[in-house]
Structure 1
Amino acid sequence: MSYNKIDELPQDIREQLPEHAQQIFFAAFNAAQKDGMSENGAREVAWNSVRNEYQQGNGGQWQRKPEDPPIHNKAITTGGN
């Protein structure tokens, strides 16, 4: 059963997840359902999608993960012949 709007998500999900994370869950769940996944499979895909950007904090509330620091690759130069 796909959701038509975010307000249709189960109450526990709406209470735990911030609005952006709800949007991620909603979109991932509906996409998985459209691809023919079972409801349980689609729910797992949706939670994994949320976990890519959010982590569960104290009290069960989800918070956005800190961004990874940029990696700077410095060129290595050697003295030559």
Structure 2
Amino acid sequence: MPYKKTKELPGQVRSHLPAHAQEIYLAAFNSAWLSYEDPEKRHGNETREETAHRVAWAAVKTHYRKNPQTGEWEEKIPKQMN
């Protein structure tokens, strides 16, 4: 089911991701929830919720990375264009 606020996100998301990453997660989850209502659009035998969570994590990973030394999620630094 879609989330209205970041405080409704799963505990693992709230406790590990920075606030901005949580907003990305929420928006991506809700969009995927609407987009993947039809089971034929989903990957394999995933439920609608599983697909939405997978899409949400992928969206977060486009802007954030987990620091291998600290284990903390941090925003990716955009590459400089020359």
- Calculate the TM-score normalised by the size of structure 2: 0.80
The 4+ residue runs of structure 1 with deviation greater than 3 A are none
5+ long unaligned stretches in structure 2:
43-47
**Using the alignment, how far apart are the partners of 1:11 and 1:60 within structure 2?**
17
Q: Secondary structure at the residue paired with 2:26? A: helix
5+ long unaligned stretches in structure 1:
72-81
Number of equivalent positions: 71
| Maintained 8 Å contact 1:24/1:46 | yes
Alignment-derived partner of residue 4 in structure 1: 4
**Using the alignment, how far apart are the partners of 1:39 and 1:59 within structure 2?**
30
Q: Rg: which structure is higher?
A: 1
Q: What is the identity, as a one-letter code, of the residue corresponding to 2:15?
A: E
- Calculate the TM-score normalised by the size of structure 1: 0.81
Alignment-derived partner of residue 56 in structure 2: 46
Q: For the aligned residues, what is the CA RMSD?
A: 1.2
- What is the aligned-residue identity percentage? 39
